[in-house]
Structure 1
Amino acid sequence: MKFRLGLQARFLLAMALVLAVVMALLLLLLHRQNLVQRESQAISSRVMHQMVDDYLHSHGRSVAEHLAESLANPLYYLDLDAIGRILRDNRRDGLIQYLLVFDRHGRLVHDGTPEIEGYGGAMDDPLAAGALAAERTVSQDSPQVLEMSAPIRVGSERIGGVRVGLSMQVAHGYEQRSAERLRARVEELARRHQGWVALMLLLLLGVAMLAALYVQRILVHPIRQLAAAARRIEAGDYSVRSQGSARNDELGDLVRAFDRMSESVARHDRDVRRMAYTDALTGLTNRLAFRENLDHRLMRLRGSGRQLALLFADIDDFKRVNDTLGHEAGDEALLQFANRIAEAVGRYGGDDALLARFGGDEFVILIQEGEVRSAATRLAEVLVAELRRPLDIHDRQVFLGTSIGITLFPEDASSATALMKNGDIAMYQAKVAGKNGFRFYSRAMDHAVERRVHMEQELRGAWERGELSVVYQPVCRTSDGRVVGAEALLRWQHPMLGMIAPSVFIDVAEQSGLIEQIGPRVLHVACTEAVRWMDLDSGERLFVSVNVSPRQLRRGDLPDVVADCLRETGLPASCLHLELTETSVISDELQAAALLARLHSTGVKVWLDDFGTGFSGLSHLRRVPVDGVKIDRSFVADLQRDPDDLALTTAIIAMAHSLGITVVAEGVEKEAQYNLLAERGCDLVQGYWLSHPVSASEFAHLLTQRMR
């Protein structure tokens, strides 16, 4: 039997060799560490001895010179008491063994003791001669003492001298203790280093074992499984062409197995290429194939004077279908959209038209026959009309629509990348303009996009910087003119741009998703202020109404956010009114009805804002539980001049009352408008004729004045 050395065995041998080398290096490192430790201790001892010797000479010289200066006058006047005090003060130094003061004849004057034994006698010790002859500070030493002698002068006349003896025994004791502490520290560091080396060695062993298991699990075992899978494929209907391999390990098995699969892979290459260039869901051309086709057409068209148009179509609010009906319903909606687009392109796009799906809910159309601008306009109009029609999905009618951006070659750009970018910008501008329409690209759109991006960047953090604030517009009852509540409105005072219109930055917040952060903060501030109004004792509870964006409604957690806010602020649920736009509620009645039912269960009131501007009717109000409707200001503005607006407003009030729904009119700017609404039974009104939006403190002051 031929011996086989597998990958795992080779790996283990390599790891063993690496461990052996590492062990040898570690042993060498420990040996070198011991040598360095001994050498460092020897050097440290010499350095310590030199440092102590230098210190003794420096300290002794300093003491001797200081005493020579301090003893000049006392010695001149032979003031033994003063000399004794000075010597006793300096004897406190633990290094000083003796202090001697002598006169010009070498006789002892003072030794720092009260008795002054030997006073007046000659000094006959071995170091006395050197001290008597010293004309400046000199040092002498013996095995027991290091002496520093300095002459004492008055002016230029030498009147005596001082001898300072430093104990060598005390100094050597200091030196020995310091050396022992240093040695202990070095030994401690060496032990710690050895411990780290041992720990690293253990970790290395552990890593080696884990690596062996890792190789077995991640490399060897999967390769064996892949080879077995390849042999199972070999058992199919495919013809096998084996090229063999010289390797005798697992990778050799893998190569031989995949050699046997090569012919079957070649047979399926055509299908793979078709899949690579086709969208799996709709069967349309995908992004990759479209880009290659576009590059090829642009190369042919350059310099020919012919035009080409790209139409970027994006389904409006498609995410709502996936979120509410599921992804299967979303796929069905995409298929129906693709079929409608393909039918329209086939009729109006020309023979050379190309339709592709770029992924998600985005479709791209290329046309180049005839007058492309007029052809693109006609096709866009047809697409907007066709895609506006409801879709039948899971026994439900879904209204979506589409936004289309159009860009032309060579007017707008000459490269495929620039054309696709311009088409995307134009499509985005169509969405900004209100969706369900189309826009041609213009260079001004680039600046508009830049301004919008800049505003979005500025809006991020505007709340933290204190630029955003909440103001309140009073809501009055028509029966008695009494203030019964207020609508909370958001304002943005930018430090450079000044006051920015809410219609501008609210749309940016909605499109960018920032409204999901700002909305709950506005709700919390408004509820907090409404709690303060309760302390004014106005005779009835005032409500605060807060606008809720469609994006907040689609998240599905609005009831939880409201409940948390009411619990934190302590505001009664009946004092909070939420205002939702009519279109955001009607666009998905099932989800809206479920959310509003949860809100109603807590006692919160719900109003439909901008009522009458959407595509719904009052019949929807029977299916969606709301407490009030706000007649849009566009109807109120023309009450006096337009009989149709007056009739429509009257009908809304009557039909809403028949359903038990409160009616609020906004935008009341004239007394005549107020009187007309009051005559027709409108319950509540708000507008500039009654009061402009004011700050929280101004609103509280307004309430206080009206209670007087």
Structure 2
Amino acid sequence: MRYGLQARVLTILALVLGTALVVLAALWWQYEDSQEELAGIGREAVHELAMEGLRRRGAALSSQLAEAIANPLYYFDLDTIGELSRSVLRQPDVAYVIVFDAEGLVVHDGSSDIPGYGQPMDDPFAAGAIAAQSLRVQWSAETMDVTQPIFIGDERIGGVRLGFSLAVVGEQQSRADALLRQGLGAIAQRNLYWLAALLAALTALGVAVLVLVSRGLVRPIRQLAEAARAVEIGRYERVQLDTRRGDELGDLIRAFKRMSESVDRHDRDIRRMAYGDSLTGLPNRLAFRELLDQRLLTLQASGGELALLFLDVDDFKRVNDTLGHDAGDEVLAQFATRIRQCVERIGGDGAEVARFGGDEFVALILGQDMRATASRLADAIILELQQPIEVLGREVFLGASVGITLFPHDAAGAGLLLKNGDIAMYQAKVAGKNCYRFYSKAMNQAVERRVQMEQDLRGAWERGELSLHYQPVFRLADGALVGAEALLRWQHPLHGVIPPAVFIDVAEQSGLIEALGRHVLARACEDAQRWQVEQGEAPFVSVNISARQLRGGDLPEVVAATLKDSGLAPERLHIELTETAVLGDEVQASALLSRLRALGVKIWLDDFGTGFSGLSHLRRVPVDGVKIDRSFVADVLRDPDDLALTSAIIAMAHSLGITVVAEGVENEGQYAVLRERNCDLAQGFWLGRPMAMQELMRRLAG
């Protein structure tokens, strides 16, 4: 047979076909190997992503639970601890929740009967959990254990452990691996079909297959792997997965994109909850602490300075009590805006503001000459916060107390700086509020003394250390003793007599004044019921009421019950309130005072003339008398201005039908001037010093 052209063509075609088949076979072998490699990369990436996501979720969830459970654990509130533990335990991938104390004993496990209560933890993770001083993550083949210690201040009081089942991670990995293999298998089958169908187009088919494999498979898988690595390190902005493919690989790309977007969204939500304040939009305490640690590390290396300003809104509780918490939130939001604007304007580059909770804010500024800059910023903030805020159609006037601490002068660590700033802010409040104070080492001793005094003051009435003295009040027209002011005295068993100016402020700040005020009111009414004189009406008793008692809202009920129990006639009880306490919120004060006057009780404004109000306010506030502050009475003989002001107060009050009482009468000349100006009543050391109940009764009898 002749080897003709057709055979040669066939031979050539066979050779080309055989060569193409060999080449295609080699390419197919390489393709299969690359599939396995890519599947492995994808599986590893998905596994690492899932594990990292679980670790982050465990850290965030344990931190939130530890923060929420700190106070219940400190007060050993098992009900609250159990409720919080069960809320976490109900999540599908949480295998267990264990709350333990500082010795590693189980306090709660989220169950109703707590079978392990009081028992030491003895599982493989227990030793590491007990020793953990910060977040600690431990692993086994089936479980991820996350431990978060719980601190109150610097004291570690226990911790919380969360166990996460790794079965969920395995299931996610299996589903992702199955989906990936399914997509790769479908592509492989489709490529084999086209290879068989288009074998006649030898070179074109080979090139087409190579192009198809390169562009249609390898590149998308590499994009997926790169996207997985970006998600793994938290760089979600690098994930660029856009495709119009309608095949399984396109489904896989879109599914991976949705998964990365979901992880990114949850990560943002967790960070926002963990690091942001939802009301003001400012960073919270946790975010500020991390920022402060970073700044201190930088400054320790560079030798720069830093100032922290602690700001607390003065008398903010009055807003919540009178206008409601919604109004309080609006006030805080406006204050946050004002504070941030001041810090941005004066603090310069690197300045930050955070809300630590409630009505407390913290500002951080950097630079040189921090004392001068911090002073300017504090002055600006105090001035700005003094401006009225309009809420619910009303103008609210508040202020701020600011404490300032400096790095590195006051402390080198974040914890001590935060403590010092808080102490300085407290001293600003003690100094009269609406001012600022720099931290000094002497403040620590003052705080310790104040804390000790507060502890000693608790129960002092029950122990008989507190008693009432009475300062007589005289009628100027005839010199008759017509009443007495009840004054609280403290005879400390170790420190002797403690001045009222010292312990009354402690009682106000700690809230003890409300209980003490009830005791004083009851004892004064009981004592006054025993007072008698030979001629004329029985003397009245005047009792000082604090602004805190007035804000409580139940003062009329308390007074009515006290009068009923003591049997004292209402007209013999005079309630004294400071001018600033009454005029701080005229609407609420006027309503309460009207209810008191309806009982028959007399209302006097104490320290009149020292507040920010004018005499015109007397027309809007229902009062029966005003007490001219002793600072005016002291200089009526020397200062024409004080004499003129005193005369004007007397004339204006009389024109409104209001009784005038002069405080601090120390000599006969003052007495004579006041009598000449038609002042109604007077009290002072020249007339009579504060005296015990028995001495006052002897004086009344004489």
**Could you say which TM-score interval applies, normalised by the shorter chain?**
0.5 to 0.7
- Correspondence 1:560 to 2:553: no
Q: In the alignment, what sits opposite 1:360?
A: 358
Query: In structure 2, what is the equivalent of residue 13 of structure 1?
Result: none
1:431-470 → structure 2 map (5 Å cutoff): 431-470=429-468
CA distance in 2, matches of 1:525, 1:679: 36
Equivalent residue number for residue 349 of structure 1:
347
- 8 Å contact kept, 1:475–1:486: yes
Write out per-residue CA displacement over residues 464-502 of structure 1, whole angstroms, 9 at most, x where no aligned residue.
Answer: 121111011110001000011000000111122111111
C-alpha deviation, 1:221, in angstroms? 11
**How many Å separate the matches in 1 of 2:428 and 2:626?**
29
Q: Which runs of 5+ in 1 are unaligned?
A: 1-216, 225-240, 247-258
* Distance change (3 Å), C-alpha of 1:378 and 1:528: same
Deviation at 1:242, TM superposition (A): 5.6
**Residue 370 (structure 2) aligns with:** 372
Q: For residue 408 of structure 2, what is the aligned residue in structure 1?
A: 410
Tell me if the contact between 2:662 and 2:679 (Cα under 8 Å) persists in the aligned partners: yes
Give the Cα–Cα distance (whole angstroms) in 1 for the partners of residues 87 and 304 of structure 2. 57
- Decide whether the 8 Å contact of 1:471 with 1:696 is kept in 2: yes
* Counterpart residue number, 2:643: 646
C-alpha offsets along residues 407-454 of structure 1, whole Å, 9 cap, x if unaligned? Answer: 001110011000000000000000000000000000000000001011
Partner of 1:479, secondary structure, is: coil
Q: 2:598 aligns with which of 585, 598, 601?
A: 601
Call closer, same or farther: CA 1:584–1:218 in 2, change over 3 Å: closer
Gap change, CA 1:476 and 1:262, over 3 Å in 2: same
Q: Equivalent residue for 1:668?
A: 665
Task: Give the letter for the 2:488 counterpart.
Answer: L
SS at match of 1:470: strand
Residue 521 of structure 1 corresponds to: 519
Aligned twin of 1:400: 398
Given the alignment, which residue of 499, 502, 520 partners 1:501? 499
TM-score (norm 1): 0.63
Is the contact made by 2:401 and 2:435 (CA closer than 8 Å) also made in structure 1? yes
2:490 equivalent to 1:492: yes
Specify whether residues 219 and 328 from structure 1 end up closer, same or farther in structure 2 by C-alpha distance, changes over 3 A only. Answer: closer
1:538 shift after superposition: 3.6
Aligned partner of 1:306 in structure 2 is 304
1:60-104 Cα shifts (integer Å, max 9, x gaps)? xxxxxxxxxxxxxxxxxxxxxxxxxxxxxxxxxxxxxxxxxxxxx
Q: Does 1:624 align with 2:621?
A: yes
Alpha carbons 2:304, 2:367 under 8 Å: kept:
no
- What SS does structure 2 have at the residue aligned with 1:413? coil
Structure 1 Cα separation of the partners of residues 646 and 293 of structure 2:
57
Q: Aligned partners of 2:491 and 2:507: how far apart in 1?
A: 15
CA positional deviation for 1:244: 5.8
Separation in 1 of the partners of 2:691 and 2:664?
A: 15
Alignment of 1:197-276 (within 5 A): 243=173, 265-272=262-269, 273-276=271-274
Residue aligning to 1:426 = 424
Shift of 1:346: 1.2
Provide the residue aligned with 1:694 in structure 2.
691
Distance in 2, matches of 1:222 and 1:285, equals: 28
Kindly provide the amino acid, as one letter, of the partner of residue 274 in structure 2.
A
* TM-score, normalization by structure 2: 0.63
Paired residue for 1:684?
681
Counterpart of 2:509 in 1: which secondary structure? helix
Q: Distance in 2 between matches of 1:681 and 1:348?
A: 54
CA distance in 2, matches of 1:580, 1:508: 18
Name the SS for the 2:484 alignment partner. Answer: strand
In 2 relative to 1, CA 394–568 (structure 1 residues): closer, same or farther, beyond 3 Å? same
Number of equivalences: 461
1:543 to 523, 540, 545: 540
What letter is aligned with 1:435?
A: K
Relative to structure 1, the CA distance from residue 700 to residue 294 in structure 2 (aligned partners, 3 Å threshold; closer, same or farther) is same
SS in structure 2 opposite 1:302? helix
Distance in 2, Cα, partners of 1:291 & 1:579: 46
C-alpha separation in 2, matches of 1:329 and 1:220: 36
Partner of residue 105, structure 2: none
Question: Which whole-Å CA distance do the structure 2 matches of 1:306 and 1:242 have between them?
Answer: 50
In the alignment, the residues of structure 1 paired with residue 265 and residue 296 of structure 2 have an alpha-carbon distance, to the nearest angstrom, of: 32
- What amino acid sits opposite 2:604 in the alignment? W
- In structure 2, the CA distance between the partners of 1:646 and 1:223, relative to structure 1 (3 Å rule), is same
- In structure 2, the CA distance between the partners of 1:221 and 1:644, relative to structure 1 (3 Å rule), is closer
For residue 95 of structure 1, what is the aligned residue in structure 2?
none
Q: Secondary structure at the match of 1:577?
A: strand
Q: Which amino acid aligns with 1:672?
A: G
CA distance in 2, matches of 1:494, 1:454: 12
1:220: Cα distance to partner? 13
Which residue pairs with 1:591 in the alignment?
588
Q: 2:634 aligns with which of 637, 652, 669?
A: 637
Residue 476 of structure 1 aligns to a residue whose secondary structure is strand
Matches within 5 A, 1:60-99: none
Q: How far apart are the structure 2 equivalents of 1:548 and 1:683?
A: 22
Give the stretch that moved more between structures: 268-277 or 320-329.
268-277
Secondary structure class of the residue paired with 2:446 = helix
Aligned match for 2:575, one of 575, 578, 587: 578
- Aligned-partner SS, 1:308: strand
Mark the CA change 1:261 to 1:545 in structure 2 (over 3 Å): closer, same or farther: farther
Q: In the alignment, what sits opposite 1:611?
A: 608
Secondary structure of the 2:531 match is helix
Unaligned runs of at least 5 residues, structure 2: 1-85, 94-170, 177-255
Equivalent-residue separation in structure 2 for 1:421 and 1:337 (angstroms): 23
Q: CA deviation at 1:261?
A: 9.5
SS at match of 1:368: strand
2:138 corresponds to which residue? none
Conserved 8 A contact 1:538-1:703: no
Counterpart code for 1:487: E
What is the aligned partner in structure 2 of residue 324 from structure 1?
Answer: 322
Q: Secondary structure at the match of 1:532?
A: coil
Distance 1:573 1:264, change over 3 A: same
Contact 1:390 1:398 (C-alpha < 8 Å) held by counterparts: yes
How far apart, CA to CA, are the structure 2 residues paired with 1:242 and 1:478?
92
Deviation at 1:275, TM superposition (A): 4.2
Per-residue displacement from partner, 1:209-255 (whole Å, max 9, x unpaired)?
xxxxxxxx99999979xxxxxxxxxxxxxxxx965689xxxxxxxxx
**Aligned AA for 2:464?**
G
Q: Is the 8 A contact 2:608 2:629 kept in 1?
A: yes
Counterpart in the other structure of 1:531:
529
Would you say the 8 A contact 1:476–1:484 is kept in 2?
A: yes
What is the SS of the residue equivalent to 2:666?
coil
**Larger CA deviation: 385-394 vs 681-690:** 385-394
Question: In structure 1, how many angstroms separate the alpha carbons of the residues matched to 2:348 and 2:283?
Answer: 17
Q: Any residues of structure 2 matched to 1:32-181 within 5 Å, and which?
A: none
Report the Cα offset of residue 269 of structure 1.
3.1
Q: Work out the CA distance in 1 between the residues paired with 2:312 and 2:383.
A: 14
Q: Residues 328 and 621 (structure 1 numbering): CA distance in 2 closer, same or farther, change over 3 Å?
A: same
CA contact (8 A) 2:428 2:435 kept: yes
Cα distance in structure 2, aligned partners of 1:690 and 1:219: 70
Distance 1:503 1:529 in 2: 24
Deviation string, structure 1 residues 171-220 (Cα, Å, up to 9, x no partner) = xxxxxxxxxxxxxxxxxxxxxxxxxxxxxxxxxxxxxxxxxxxxxx9999
Distance in 1 (alpha carbons) for counterparts of 2:366 and 2:557: 53
Contact 1:582 1:610 in 2 (8 A): yes
